[in-house]
Structure 1
Amino acid sequence: MPTAISRRPWPMKTKPNHLLVYILTFGVFGILNTEMGVIGILPLIADHYHVSISTAGLIVSLFALAVAVSGPIIPSLFSGMDRKKVMLLVLGIFIVGNLVSAFTSNFTVLLIARVIPAFFHPVYCSLAFTVAAASVGKEEASKAVAKVFVGVSAGMVLGVPVSSLIATATSLTYAMLFFAAVTTVAFVATLLFVPSMPVTERLSYGTQLRVLRRSMTWLSIAAVIFMNGAVFGVYSYLAEFLKTVTNYSWNTISLMLFLYGVANIVGNMIAGKLLANHPLRTVQSYPFALAAIYILLFTLGQFSVPMAFIILIWGILGGIGGNITQYWIVSSAPEAPEFANGLFLTSANLGTTIGAGVCGLFIAGISTQYVVLGGILFLILSVATIFPTISMSGRLKNAGRLEDANVAR
């Protein structure tokens, strides 16, 4: 991987700006809350708009598709603008989209109001990772990015049950307004407390795209797709696994899903320390640790008590994995961090989609218990891309230099 430290494209204070990191975390929470929160109210959306549940699911799948398409493109287009203005613009678009979603009576308008903000999702998240790392010292960069990932996990964990609770207690409109309220708070906090961050040295589009000429970049992209596929391919069917293999009740399944989410947040915080102190060791050992959990899942999945402990450890590893994949791609292109973060978002979404599809084939062809084989297959593929990348870049001999890539995030 490149060992040079990229120069920050905006002036930085010598004192770490931890408040900025927390605002970015909340902003990412607002955006992920908008993306994932509707999963908890899809049946209500289907009933309200008189469409099938599969049609209602388009507001989730088309959102993810828009993120995957725009990930490597849109962040680069905004790379020359003041960071604060870009963040306010994106949050403003999400606020408007959520307000339209709350009050429209037309399903097509709802889809449009969801998809348009989705194209700007990578812009904010990419900036959040980059600015968070640059707002603190080099030794704190991984921890700052890990805090932003807490916003990602919280959006996924809290968005679904909270939106469902609000919609059940009040109405679908108020659930949508909850999404708007969260992004509005993030907008106001950004407006009042985030300093202006003008770009002093804008990277040309050619410079950003040049990173795609490297085989290491493509290997890193493949590694992220495979690692994300390994995690979310199996996780996508966790509820079904707990129902058919472990024979949990629906109330217990909900509790286990919540446990996984909380553990995911814990994993994010652990990942910050691991990547700050032992980046290579963490990346190298991760596929084997997750494979061990999947083997336990396969052999002990029918036992309720061991399964709870497996989910706890699995959730922690899932949180660590998200940080690893972001770190791996950005460290392959430290001179173009925003473009690299866009590639990360696209690769992560592709990995989730492909992983769910392949693991679903194992369920359809054999049985639910064998879904872990799909996860292990993706882990084997990730190892086949991680270690050649290390060999090509001399990472094992330059671990200290690689840590410098954190600064670029």
Structure 2
Amino acid sequence: MKKSLLPLTLGGLGIGTTEFVMMGMLPDIANDFHTSIPVAGHLISAYALGVVIGAPLLVAFTSSYPPKKILTVLMIIFTVFNACSAFAPNHYVLLFSRLLAGLPHGAFFGVGSVVATRLAEKGKQAQAISIMFAGLTIANLLTVPLGTYIGHHYSWRYTFGMIAVIGLLTLIFIQLWLPRLAPNNSGNIRSELTFFRKKQAWLIIGLTAIGTGGLFAWISYIAPLMTEVSKFAASSVPYVLVLAGLGMVVGNVIGGKLADKVSPVKACLILMITMAISLIVIFFVSQNQILSLVMTFITGGLSMAIGSPIQTLMINTAKGAEMLGAAATQAAFNIGNALGAFLGGLPIAWGLGFTSPEIVGVIMASTGALFALTLSRQKVKIVEEEVALAGE
């Protein structure tokens, strides 16, 4: 592993922690601010909104600068507003701090993905991106459970303080280990935005926003699935989430290697089909505790395996607008998060049970597979046209 990629991994650790730890701390924050759980849940939505707003805008307006400077500014924003979250005097200040803390999320992963590909050895671009996303997987395995424990037994403010320290360490290692790279393009925002006139851009965004939403339909309701269907004790749910996090660590590595071996678009197609099959299996075997745990590990792996192939696919497609394209996929991931959670919750509200979100997930993942298949066919067509022109 290249030392120059480690600052990206550390940044991913901090971002992954602040994104996912909120789910476990909601009751504690709601209790401190004397609000309901649904109202406290707006803190999750505010962060996701910040990601969707910040991902394309911050990259678009900073793309003329060297990547090292962009990543430094993004991590300063991240660190400052997570520190502000630790000292928030009321719900509304925390809500605003969470919105602003979400702004650099997608931009960091977008710029970081391009930096990773530029630092990677030839033919190992997706694996380099997976090293950055490894921070996100480690967060789900270690720092999210740790932050949840600290928030519950001591104070959620200490958890945000811990995240701010991770951000500060990331800033230090960006300065020490990340090489100075030239700006990725001319910085012409208008020319970069023309990429989004292409059908391929929207197919990748659709693949991300709808396809990955299938997994969020599953993981958003994993706690009641495990307690009400698999009949695990509520106290066992954190350990189940650690198992899912372990699957994410393994899946992230597999996804990067698969994308480099068979091409990013084929990897996306394979993983989306596998995801749909996995969710079908969960629907039928969740009453068996052992099989339920096995599928939690496998599906957790799939949830991260798709990340590197999608980012690599967008970077390869968005020539001249790589950072903006990669940031847009991060915004689309968060749209998938919101869509999966919302649509997955509808059949539960209709009384169809806690396995019903998996059916929604199958439909969304299958739709993502159709997007990937369309992209694959388009790329074959483009290659055939280029060969024909070369022959003339």
Question: Could you state the TM-score of these two structures normalised by the residue count of structure 1?
Answer: 0.88
Paired residues of 2:83 and 2:164 also in contact (CA < 8 A): yes
Counterpart of 2:390 in structure 1 is none
Aligned: 1:375 with 2:361? yes
Note closer, same or farther for the CA distance 1:283–1:38 as it changes in structure 2 (3 Å cut): closer
Q: How does 1:184-223 map to 2 (within 5 A)?
A: 184-199=168-183, 201-223=185-207
Task: Determine the C-alpha separation between the residues in 2 that align with 1:204 and 1:33.
Answer: 34
Note closer, same or farther for the CA distance 1:377–1:182 as it changes in structure 2 (3 Å cut): same
Choose which of 89, 93, 106 in structure 1 pairs with 2:77. 93
Note closer, same or farther for the CA distance 1:298–1:328 as it changes in structure 2 (3 Å cut): same
Counterpart of 2:348 in structure 1 is 363
SS at match of 1:124: helix
Paired residues of 1:38 and 1:163 also in contact (CA < 8 A): no
Deviations 1:31-69 (A, max 9, x none): 222222222222221122222222222221111011112
Choose which of 318, 332, 342 in structure 1 pairs with 2:327. 342
Paired residues of 2:211 and 2:366 also in contact (CA < 8 A): no
Aligned: 1:22 with 2:22? no
Paired residues of 1:23 and 1:190 also in contact (CA < 8 A): yes
Deviation at 1:200, TM superposition (A): 7.0
Note closer, same or farther for the CA distance 1:285–1:35 as it changes in structure 2 (3 Å cut): closer
Aligned AA (1:384): L
Deviation at 1:397, TM superposition (A): 5.9
Counterpart of 1:8 in structure 2 is none
Task: Determine the C-alpha separation between the residues in 2 that align with 1:291 and 1:200.
Answer: 36
Deviation at 1:395, TM superposition (A): 6.7
Aligned AA (2:371): T
The runs of 5 or more residues in structure 1 that have no matched partner are 1-16, 402-409
Task: Determine the C-alpha separation between the residues in 1 that align with 2:334 and 2:110.
Answer: 14
Counterpart of 1:4 in structure 2 is none
Counterpart of 1:294 in structure 2 is 279
Counterpart of 1:308 in structure 2 is 293
Paired residues of 1:259 and 1:312 also in contact (CA < 8 A): yes
Choose which of 297, 311, 323 in structure 2 pairs with 1:326. 311
Deviations 1:203-230 (A, max 9, x none): 4112211111111211121111121111
Choose which of 225, 234, 240 in structure 2 pairs with 1:250. 234
Aligned: 1:137 with 2:121? yes
Task: Determine the C-alpha separation between the residues in 1 that align with 2:308 and 2:124.
Answer: 14
Note closer, same or farther for the CA distance 1:230–1:396 as it changes in structure 2 (3 Å cut): farther
Paired residues of 2:315 and 2:322 also in contact (CA < 8 A): yes
Paired residues of 1:208 and 1:336 also in contact (CA < 8 A): yes
SS at match of 1:368: coil
The runs of 5 or more residues in structure 2 that have no matched partner are 388-392
Aligned: 1:46 with 2:30? yes
Aligned AA (1:338): M
Aligned: 1:317 with 2:317? no
Counterpart of 1:179 in structure 2 is 163
Q: Comparing 253-262 with 323-332, which one deviates more in the overlay? A: 323-332
SS at match of 2:111: helix
Deviation at 1:329, TM superposition (A): 2.8
Note closer, same or farther for the CA distance 1:83–1:136 as it changes in structure 2 (3 Å cut): same
Paired residues of 2:141 and 2:245 also in contact (CA < 8 A): yes
The higher relative CO (CA closer than 8 Å, separation ≥ 6) is in 1
Deviation at 1:74, TM superposition (A): 1.8
Aligned AA (2:345): G
Aligned AA (1:309): V
Deviation at 1:272, TM superposition (A): 1.3
Note closer, same or farther for the CA distance 1:370–1:111 as it changes in structure 2 (3 Å cut): closer
Paired residues of 1:28 and 1:128 also in contact (CA < 8 A): no
Aligned AA (1:43): P
Deviation at 1:356, TM superposition (A): 1.5
Task: Determine the C-alpha separation between the residues in 1 that align with 2:191 and 2:33.
Answer: 46
Paired residues of 2:117 and 2:125 also in contact (CA < 8 A): yes
Deviations 1:270-313 (A, max 9, x none): 11111111124422322222222122212211011111111121
Counterpart of 1:162 in structure 2 is 146
Deviation at 1:262, TM superposition (A): 0.9
Paired residues of 2:278 and 2:295 also in contact (CA < 8 A): yes
Deviations 1:120-176 (A, max 9, x none): 222212111110111122222111101111112223443431112223443333222
Note closer, same or farther for the CA distance 1:216–1:52 as it changes in structure 2 (3 Å cut): same
Note closer, same or farther for the CA distance 1:290–1:99 as it changes in structure 2 (3 Å cut): closer
Task: Determine the C-alpha separation between the residues in 2 that align with 1:45 and 1:328.
Answer: 39
Paired residues of 1:39 and 1:160 also in contact (CA < 8 A): no
Counterpart of 1:384 in structure 2 is 370
Paired residues of 2:204 and 2:314 also in contact (CA < 8 A): yes
Q: Comparing 325-334 with 90-99, which one deviates more in the overlay? A: 325-334
Paired residues of 1:226 and 1:351 also in contact (CA < 8 A): yes
SS at match of 1:202: coil
Aligned: 1:109 with 2:93? yes
Question: Could you state the TM-score of these two structures normalised by the residue count of structure 2?
Answer: 0.92
Note closer, same or farther for the CA distance 1:136–1:329 as it changes in structure 2 (3 Å cut): closer
Deviations 1:223-243 (A, max 9, x none): 111211111112111111111
